[in-house]
């Protein structure tokens, strides 16, 4: 997985291509991220305005498709289906 990783506040963010991701647990799905933004909260972590333990992966405002669904994840699938339908309008 590719990710923007903050290793120290006030330092440049590292773009890493080798982040390992665990398989989804019960009640979870894995989403293949297509687009992701860095919001003001992430920026505040990066600058040190909001202290946080590091390393940390930045970017929690994302859009993507469900890659590995949980067998009973119909609610998540319905939500994503509505989002996809809206996107096509």
* Close Cβ partners of 79 (under 8 Å, ≥ 6 residues apart): none
> In b/e form, how buried is each residue of 49-79, taking b as 16+ CB within 10 angstroms?
eeeeeeeeebeeeeeeebeebbeebeebeee
Tell me the per-residue pLDDT of 5-56, one tens digit each, with 9 for 90 and over: 999 999 999 999 988 888 887 777 788 888 888 889 999 999 999 998 999 9
Q: How far apart are CA 13 and CA 22, in angstroms?
A: 23
According to the CATH classification, is domain 3-87 in 3.90.180.10? yes
Asked if residue 64 lies in contact with residue 33, where contact means CB atoms within 8 angstroms, the answer is yes
Q: How far apart are CA 4 and CA 56, in angstroms?
A: 8
Q: Is the pTM of this model over 0.85?
A: no
């Amino acid at each position: 997985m590719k990710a923007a990783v903050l290793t120290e506040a006030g330092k440049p963010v590292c773009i890493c291509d080798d982040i390992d991701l665990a398989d989804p647990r019960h009640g979870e799905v894995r989403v293949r991220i297509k687009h992701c933004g860095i919001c003001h909260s992430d920026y505040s972590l990066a600058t040190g305005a909001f202290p946080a333990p590091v390393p940390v992966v930045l970017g929690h405002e994302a859009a993507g498709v469900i890659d590995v669904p949980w067998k009973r994840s119909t609610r998540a699938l319905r939500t994503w289906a509505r989002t996809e339908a809206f996107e096509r309008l």
